[in-house]
Chains A and B, each alone.
Chain A
């Protein structure tokens, strides 16, 4: 009985830590994005709330939380209220399978530094990222506004199209690691990170994950200068905040997944494991912000053409080539 309770307590502590850090990092990612984007555009960015504007995220969250939560009269009430939660929850849950470091031992017990080591962790990630589409599509539809509906439709089409190359690009990784578990995938990169063997997979995964997270240059569901704010046009207060939060948690999850699948996860010399993971996530986030400061939005047909005519064939060819090479070598490298 006692070990069960202790295990449960450890799990709760891990959950609280990961959730707290994730949400804190999400709000400071907003700060980082605003600051960096400002510097890319030769502006100053937030600098009034606290030193270097460091209290800006706190001021923003207070503003979001105290704003009126408006439900349009014509909206479908229940789906409208639930959709933001779907986006935020799916983004947060994806972090459950990301290994944060090697096993540590506390009082003779080994505690794995991952919330749950699912043996189908990769499929779990895909399942959640597919579920995230529902938040966008249902939220866009339930608001009963033309802009929201257009944003929702675009979001659904885009995310379903890019789900395919996202999945296909990770098949070579699974072939090389012989496992769907994210812990095993990280362990398989003990010698070399997979980006050295799979640069094509890396690029395909990054592009499709970028499209999944609806960021520039793939931010057609939001497209503020065409659709107002796309699927979350009608949302206000913390419900809009949840969409916002979902987006920034998604950036972190994307960074963590890039790290786990291609950059060796928490592995790295000299520095402690959690710092390596954080550093890799930061690098990915920085690159995404850089990209936002550089690229314009794609046209809708360009987006679809890139997904179906470039990324999927490239990913398929990559799978065949990887399979051939693995067969020749008679196993994993």
Chain B
């Protein structure tokens, strides 16, 4: 009999608890009106950045497309007038992208970067395929000072290391020996 009374008491407590909740303020955040501040390292839509001189950073090395676990990045490499490589076309299929950020980690020139813009919903799946013109932006992204060619020039038909336009000379690796 006492167990029955306990059961009834427990039931009443449960009902009272839920009834109290009826008068609490809902904790729902209404999304399109209220946008929560995103964490600093949020990974979402991918961009192609430029170096501080305003030139494209991408050297079409294919590292991002080969590291991509879902193979959503594709490009073509070619040489510019000055012998440097670039990508005539660059394509990311956002319908396939899983926003893992491995492309950003693999990129030696800090060209490909993930931004925090995540509202990329589209009704037509083909509009999620972004071409180079859609990806290229006019700023340096997270790396405001980095310019690949200041640190790592390469030998081309036009000249050796450090002899190209806006390229620092090679660093003597033995300079810091004791």
| With A290-B15, A294-B15, A295-B14: A40-B21 Cβ-Cβ less than 8 Å | yes
| Interface residue A112 (Cβ < 8 Å from any Cβ of B) | no
Q: Are B18 and A42 in contact (CB under 8 A)?
A: no
Q: Which B residues lie within 8 Å of A320 (CB)?
A: none
Please tell me the number of chain A residues within 8 Å of chain B, measured between CB atoms.
Answer: 14
| Interface residue A109 (Cβ < 8 Å from any Cβ of B) | no
Q: Are A44 and B14 in contact (CB under 8 A)?
A: no
Q: Which B residues lie within 8 Å of A293 (CB)?
A: 18
| Interface residue A15 (Cβ < 8 Å from any Cβ of B) | no
Q: Which A residues lie within 8 Å of B30 (CB)?
A: 44, 47
Give the CA-CA distance A293 to B14 in the complex, in Å.
10
Query: How far in angstroms is the closest Cβ of chain B from A299?
Result: 15
- Could you say which interface size class chain B belongs to? 10 to 19
Query: How far in angstroms is the closest Cβ of chain B from A49?
Result: 14
Contact among A36, A38, A291, A295 for B26, CB-based, below 8 A: A38
| Interface residue B27 (Cβ < 8 Å from any Cβ of A) | yes
Q: Are A39 and B21 in contact (CB under 8 A)?
A: yes
Q: Which B residues lie within 8 Å of A41 (CB)?
A: 21
| Interface residue B28 (Cβ < 8 Å from any Cβ of A) | yes
Q: Are A42 and B15 in contact (CB under 8 A)?
A: no
Q: Are B14 and A43 in contact (CB under 8 A)?
A: no
Q: Which A residues lie within 8 Å of B21 (CB)?
A: 39-42
Contact indicator per residue, chain B 24-37, by CB within 8 Å of chain A (1) or not (0)? 11111010000000
Query: How far in angstroms is the closest Cβ of chain B from A215?
Result: 15
Query: How far in angstroms is the closest Cβ of chain A from B53?
Result: 48
- The B1-52 residues at the A interface (CB cut-off 8 A) are 11, 14-15, 17-19, 21-22, 24-28, 30
Give the CA-CA distance A44 to B28 in the complex, in Å.
6
Query: How far in angstroms is the closest Cβ of chain A from B41?
Result: 29
| With A44-B28, A44-B30: A39-B22 Cβ-Cβ less than 8 Å | yes
Give the CA-CA distance A47 to B11 in the complex, in Å.
31
Query: How far in angstroms is the closest Cβ of chain A from B11?
Result: 8
Q: Are B22 and A44 in contact (CB under 8 A)?
A: no
Q: Which B residues lie within 8 Å of A47 (CB)?
A: 30
**Chain B residues engaging chain A, CB cutoff 8 angstroms:** 11, 14-15, 17-19, 21-22, 24-28, 30
**Chain A residues engaging chain B, CB cutoff 8 angstroms:** 36, 38-44, 47, 290-291, 293-295
What are the nearest 8 A-B pairs in CB distance? A44-B28, A294-B18, A44-B26, A40-B18, A293-B18, A294-B14, A39-B22, A43-B28
